[in-house]
Every structure is written in structure tokens, then in C-alpha cells.
Structure 1
């Protein structure tokens, strides 16, 4: 008599063969949808089977429904959080570009205003010195003396004006440099979302592969119900439950990564804005 392990191996091989050749049609990416007619077929198959297999069919079917709901809920939560993250990231990038822009602009305006305000003084001082140079060239001592006194009197005002412009220009440049450094730091902080997005992309690729792999199993399950093959239906259901559980696990990982993206965005905003 064959051992229990041998019988189990034969059963697995038979199911694999059934999965490959038993389908009377192509199983291309069929969506898993639990309908009332499908439930009726399952109940019919369960009633015709022995009590243990029938109970297992109903239990696995209920578990599949729960996992499908978890998958749907997770997908909705991910979509909602991802949308919020994308909007928040777009707004934050704009805010980062504008970091200290008003202060830098105000200081730049102060530099320009000071130059405009002192221009008559500088022009007058330049003209006076030209007159002084001309008077000296003409060897007019009296005029040279008068103009020299006037030039000396203006010199201090000119020096103070130049110092004022210099200080304002230095303040503007320092603010501009500080703003640039702050913008770079904020962008570097926000860039932490990039590797998280790469991980999400990889998980989504895995999700797609897992969903595709379930299509033939789902088709086999429906075909088994059609043939009232309780054993094959049970094995297909078990595979479906395991597969959808894997999908839910991947969805939860994606949500966790989106949550980390949300934390990066809020952390960057709190620190730099």
C-alpha cells in the first residue's frame, strides 16, 4: 500500500497537471470576483462532497472573500494617501523655491534704494572734484582753496554713504547665500522620498506578477466547481487564499512606504519652512 507522503505527492502532481491542461479556455488575467452564482456553485459542490471537504470549501471561500476585501481596502487607502502625498510634495517644492525669497528681495531693494538715494551725493562729489582739478590746473589758488574745503566737507558724507551701501549689499549677499543653503538642505531632505518610490515601484511590479499568477488558478477553481470536483476546487481555493494574502501583505508594505513618504514631506516642511 502506498505511504501517506506518496499519496500526497501524487495528489499535488495531479493538481499541477490539472492546472495546466484541464482548462477548456484561455485563463488570461481574469479578475477574481465572488458572485452569487459562484457561491451557489460552491455550495452545490460542497454539499456533494464529504463533510470535511465541504466545510473546508466554505471556510476557504469565506477567507478568500475577507482577503479580497482587505486587498480592495488597502488599494483605496494607498490611492488616497498617494494622492495626498503627491499634492503635498508639489506644494512643498514650490514653497522650497520661495524660501526667504521675500527677505532676499527686500534686502536687494534696500541696496538699490540706497544707491538711488545717494546718487546725487556721489554725482555732486564727482563734479566738485573735477572742478577742483580744473582750478588746480589753472593755478587758481583762491578757487582751489574754496573747492578743496567743499570737497573735504563732502568727503565724510560720501564715505558714510558708501559704507551704508556696502553694508546693505553684504546683508543682501549673506541672506541670498543663507537662503540658497537652506533651499539645498530642504531639497536634500525631500529627496529621501526617491528611494522609497523605487521600493514602491518594485512592490507594484511584484503585485502585478502575483495577480497574473492567480488568473489560471482562479479559472481552474471555477472549472472545478463546474465539474463538481470538490478536491480540485479546495486546492485551488487554498492557492487563491495564499496568493491574495501575499497581495495584501505587499499592499500593506506599499502603504507603509507611502506613510514614510508622508513623514518625510511633513518633516521637511516643519524643519525648513
Structure 2
């Protein structure tokens, strides 16, 4: 085994590993709960009032349950949001490529037809120019012969022009149909835009409410430290009320994300029918 000559190099892998670990989110630290010492202080504060102790115990259970609910709701919101964003991105790309293969084939068919008939068209144009030239020269025999050739070619030219026109009309109809389909699907997708605006508003309200949580929790712990049972109950009750308001906001956000999901699924279904 080779030893590191430089002691800094020897510990570098451990420093990197430690930095990676420390950068990970620590959810447990963010959870608000009483320590064993704080619980003992609460028990002492409510020793003389069993009814208050029962109420406080029930309130604390609601407090911890709400924290779990908020965490679960956040996870549900994040999961659904990312799913919606991925689906929205995929659908947006699919809308751009509606009937792309069909239109590409029609464009190719039109180009091939034009290329195919180009020599015929050129020959017909040349014949007509020759007829004009023969007329200027007053060469009746040459004019008569050229007109006979032109009349024969004219039928083929008319058929060629009709073929090209049919292909142009088919291409135009396909593009018109594609535009109508794209407009319809995009209209469905745009139905989610007002919901995203509402989500921003609900998130703003939730964030505003959340700013008060840490100060409120510090107030609860201070009440526990002071040993005032009634104040512990009141402060904790206020905090629980605040958490319930936040949970209400989060549920609104989740409901809006579900509405967006329904809109996206509708658009996906409509797109599938176009294939």
C-alpha cells in the first residue's frame, strides 16, 4: 500500500466526504419538539392541574401531527409539481410536431411532382416562344407544326398542373388542420396558467405565515422554561392555529396542482386522439 507523502492529501477524501454529508438537508433538526428536559418541565408546570395537563397533551399531539401532515403535503406538492412540469414540457414539444410526418411527406410529394414536371413545363414554354418567333417570321408551315406539338403537350401540362394543384391543396389542408389542432391543444394547456398564478399567491401567503413559526416556537420554549402552564397552553395553541392555517394554504396549493394535472391529462388525451 502506498502512503501519502503529503498529510493534507491523506485527509482530503475525508474532508470532501464530510462536506457532502453536511450539505445534505437535515429534516430532523427542522422538526419542532420538546426535549426530555422540556417535557419534564411541562409535567411539573401542570402537576397541580390534571385537566390542563390533558388539554396540553392533546394540543401537543396535534402540534406534532400537524408537522407530519405539512411534511407529507409538501412532498405531495413537490412530486405532483415536478410531474406536471415534465408533462407540460413533453406536451408542448408534441404540439409542435403534430402531423409533422404527414406534412413532411406531402411537402416531399409536392417537390417531387414539381421536379418531375419541370422539364415538361420548360418544353411547353419553349414551344410557345418558338410559335411567337415563327409568327413574327410569318412562317405559316413552321407555326402550324409548332402549334400542333404545343396542343399535344398542352394536355400533358394541364394534367401536370392539376396534379401539382391537388398536392398543394392537400398540403395546405394538412397545415390548416395542424394549426387548428395546435390551437385547440394550446387552448387547453393555457387553462392551467391562471391556476399557476393562484399557486404563486397561495405560496406567498403560506410563506408569510411560515415566517412567524420560528418566533412562535421560541415563545413556546420560553413559556416552558418559565414554568407557566397556562402560558404554555396559550402559546402552543397559537402556534398550532398558525400551522393549521399553513396546512390550509398547502392543501389549496395541492388542489390547484391536481387541477393542473387534470388539464394536462386532458390535453394528453386529446393529443393521443390526433395520432
Q: Same fold (TM over 0.5)?
A: yes
Tell me how far apart the structure 2 counterparts of residues 45 and 223 of structure 1 sit (CA, whole Å). 15
What displacement does 1:83 show? 0.5
- Distance in 1 between residues matched to 2:269 and 2:150, nearest whole Å: 55
User: Which residue number corresponds to residue 127 of structure 1?
Assistant: 126
Residue equivalent to 1:221: 220
Name 1:172's counterpart in structure 2.
Answer: 171
Runs of 5+ in structure 2 lacking a partner?
1-28
Q: 1:101-134 CA distances to partner (integer Å, 9 max, x unpaired)? A: 2222221222111110000100111112222222
Paired residue for 1:64? 63
CA deviation after TM superposition for structure 1 residue 201, in Å: 0.9
Aligned to 1:202: 201
Pairwise CA RMSD: 1.9
User: Any conservation in 2 of the 1:46–1:53 contact (CA below 8 Å)?
Assistant: no
Q: Secondary structure at the match of 2:206?
A: helix
Q: Does 1:88 align with 2:91?
A: no
Q: Is the 1:46–1:57 contact (alpha carbons within 8 Å) kept by the matching residues of 2?
A: no
**Offset, 1:216:** 2.7
Tell me the distance in 2 between the aligned counterparts of 1:39 and 1:99. Answer: 64
Q: CA offset at residue 32 of structure 1?
A: 5.5
For 1:41 and 1:206, locate their aligned partners in 2 and report how far apart those are by CA, in whole Å.
36
Correspondences of 1:42-191 after superposition (within 5 Å): 43-45=42-44, 47-191=46-190
For 1:48, what is the secondary structure of its paired residue? coil
Give distance in 1, aligned partners of 2:227 and 2:185.
Answer: 63
Partner SS, residue 34 of structure 1: coil
What is the deviation of 1:212? 1.8
Contact 1:43 1:58 in 2 (8 A): no
Q: How many residues align?
A: 244
Q: Which structure would you say has the larger RCO, counting Cα contacts within 8 Å and 6 or more residues apart?
A: 1
* CA separation of 1:120 and 1:45: change in aligned 2, threshold 3 A: farther
Please say if residues 81 and 259 of structure 1, whose CA atoms lie closer than 8 Å, have aligned partners that are also in contact.
yes
Task: Give the CA deviation at 1:82.
Answer: 0.3
Q: Distance in 2 between matches of 1:175 and 1:42?
A: 78
Q: Distance in 1 between matches of 2:38 and 2:76?
A: 28
Map Cα deviations across residues 57-101 of structure 1 (whole Å, 9 max, x no partner): 111111111111001100001000001001110111111111122
Q: Deviations over 1:130-179 (max 9, x none)?
A: 22222232222222222211111111110110111111111111211221
TM normalised by structure 2 equals 0.83
Where does structure 1 lack aligned partners over 5 or more consecutive residues? Answer: 1-29
- Asked if 1 retains the 8 angstrom alpha-carbon contact of 2:73 and 2:254, the reply is yes
- Equivalent position of 1:247 in the other structure: 246
Q: Could you tell which deviates more after superposition, 263-272 or 140-149?
A: 140-149
* Cα 1:45/1:199, change in 2 over 3 Å: farther
